[in-house]
Amino acid sequence: MKTEREIGVGDGRTEAELEAGRRSRVLMKGNEAIAEAAIQAGCDAYFGYPITPQAELLEWMARRMLELGRVFVQAESELGAINMALGAAATGARVMVSSSSPGISLMAEAMSYMAGSGTPMVLVNIMRAGPGLGGIGPSQSDYFQATKGHGHGDYRVPVLAPASIGEAMELLASSFEMAERYRTPVMLVADGILGQAMEPVDLRFRTPERHAFDWALTGAAGRPARIIKSIDLDPEVLEKRNLDLQHKYREIARHEVRWEAWQLDDAEFAIVAYGTAARVARTAITRARERGIKVGLFRPITLWPFPERELARLSRRLGGILTVELSSGQMVEDVRLAVEGRCPVAFHGRMGGLVPTPDEVLGALKALSGHHAHTPPPRVRGYEATELFEPDYPAHSGARRGGRR
């Protein structure tokens, strides 16, 4: 891996040298590019715990943050890391934490507290395959976790999903902006491929503007004491707190929805996919168009807020939608909610760390485009669920135990 001097982000360079560096394209690993983007975005403190496939992010931070005189702590656990982030963020610092799926599960508790108390933070999840310890291959099986809530309570967290390393770098700056603008944790989710792969990136970094926070804990000198908390035992007060949160989420949904449309102008079919799945989909779309299937890509960039209005509008003129994910089909539920039956919605996905091939996706597209006129909508899968989940449980033992026939 190149050092920061080679990629032109180190200290002690002239502005011209820095500018030249920024213009250059370099080959960077996703985890390291994300880490450097956070540093360039003004991240004051990073807290982490080693886990594959995001360990390089922690390692990059370990070196760079200390070089820059900023805060890096390798915590005793993901619980420790995110609660350190909670404390640092409560003082108004720009804070990032990263982990991978099993670690994010441990962080769910503090995410709920931070959402409830309005504490900004950026959390990066380099997703790996689950459930449980699962594996270290790429996955998008944390979509539900990211978009439907990690911890307890009525809260949402904006979720940004890049499809390239360069986009991840830009979205990281946006994540800090959103976190501070709305006083909320923000998640950036990328599958393990985006964390582990190397690709050429433009070294264009962005540092969001700093704002003074009238809520930050700095010591109550010359002002009333401030409290950052989520507890309110009075139900009326707590409902008001919740209503304020819901208002915030409506504002986020109104202003922050992001998506990309590609080759949709003349499309009769669309693939809905994000992250690495969207890149596979692009290849499949190119091949499908060579075969005369008019298909384009609808790529959600914000997974929450989901671009539901835009997808609903699109679905009115489509013959069918194929959702492709590195999961059993999680985002497809939001696709179906947005489409509301206006066109068939099929799904193709792989699990366990496997990635669908363009030809698999092409096959699913062919099936969809050939059958879209018929009802019910086709069930397109990358695997045979019935075979995988053939019930070979022991015969129901309750009756035997009970001794009744």
Partner 1 sequence: MTLHTPGSATPATAAARLIYHKPDVLLDRSTHYCPGCGHGIVHRLLAEVLTELDLPAHTIAVAPVGCAVFAYDYLNVDFVEAPHGRAPAVATGIRRVRPEAFVLTYQGDGDLAAIGTAEIVHAAARGERITAIFVNNGIYGMTGGQMAPTTLLGQRTTSSPNGRDAALMGYPIRITEMLAQLPGVAYAARGTVADVPAIGRLKAMIKRACQIQLNSGGFAIVEALSNCPVGWGMTPLQSLEHLKGPVVDAYPLGVIVDRGLGADTHPAAGTACPAPSHPEA
d(CA 35, CA 88): 18
CA nearest neighbour of 204 among 41, 42, 67, 56: 41
Give the shortest CB-33-to-partner 1 separation in angstroms.
24
Q: Which of 91, 105, 242, 357 binds partner 1 (CB under 8 A)?
A: 91
The interface mask with partner 1, positions 224-263, x = CB under 8 A, is: -xxxxxxx--------------------------------
Q: What are phi and psi of 99, to 5 degrees?
A: -165, -170
Determine the size of the site formed for partner 1 (CB under 8 A): 39
Give the shortest CB-51-to-partner 1 separation in angstroms.
16
Using only C-alpha atoms, the chain has a radius of gyration, in whole angstroms, of: 23
CA nearest neighbour of 129 among 377, 360, 350, 340: 350
Give the shortest CB-95-to-partner 1 separation in angstroms.
8
C-beta of residue 353 within 8 angstroms of C-beta of residue 386: no
C-beta of residue 298 within 8 angstroms of C-beta of residue 248: no
Q: In this chain, which stretch among 23-31, 122-130, 205-213, 221-229 interacts with partner 1, using CB under 8 A?
A: 221-229
Give the shortest CB-329-to-partner 1 separation in angstroms.
32
Asked whether position 221 contacts partner 1 by CB under 8 A, the answer is yes
C-beta of residue 194 within 8 angstroms of C-beta of residue 164: yes
The interface mask with partner 1, positions 271-290, x = CB under 8 A, is: --------------------
Which residue shows structure tokens 């508790």? 109
Residue 176 vs 306, nearer CB to partner 1: 176
Bond before 53 cis per omega within 30 degrees: yes
CA max distance for the chain: 86
Asked whether position 68 contacts partner 1 by CB under 8 A, the answer is no
Q: In this chain, which stretch among 5-13, 21-29, 78-86, 165-173 interacts with partner 1, using CB under 8 A?
A: 78-86
Partners of 278 in beta bridges:
none
Asked whether position 136 contacts partner 1 by CB under 8 A, the answer is no
Q: Which of 109, 154, 260, 333 binds partner 1 (CB under 8 A)?
A: 109
CA nearest neighbour of 272 among 244, 303, 242: 303
DSSP 395: P
DSSP 390: -
CA nearest neighbour of 342 among 307, 303, 308, 314: 314
| Contact set for partner 1, span 198-217 (CB under 8 A) | 217
Q: In this chain, which stretch among 77-85, 190-198, 284-292, 359-367 interacts with partner 1, using CB under 8 A?
A: 77-85
Q: Which of 44, 199, 268, 310 binds partner 1 (CB under 8 A)?
A: 44
Helix axes 308-315 and 331-339, enclosed angle (nearest 10) = 60
Asked whether position 3 contacts partner 1 by CB under 8 A, the answer is no
Phi-psi region of 403 (alpha: psi -120 to 50; beta: other; left: phi over 0): left
Q: Which of 3, 218, 246, 286 binds partner 1 (CB under 8 A)?
A: 218
Q: Which of 37, 84, 106, 311 binds partner 1 (CB under 8 A)?
A: 84
DSSP 393: P
Q: In this chain, which stretch among 2-10, 84-92, 165-173, 291-299 interacts with partner 1, using CB under 8 A?
A: 84-92
C-beta of residue 266 within 8 angstroms of C-beta of residue 293: no
Residue 91 vs 283, nearer CB to partner 1: 91
Binding site for partner 1 (CB under 8 A): 44-45, 47, 71, 73, 75-77, 79-81, 83-91, 93, 95, 109-110, 113, 117, 217-222, 225-231
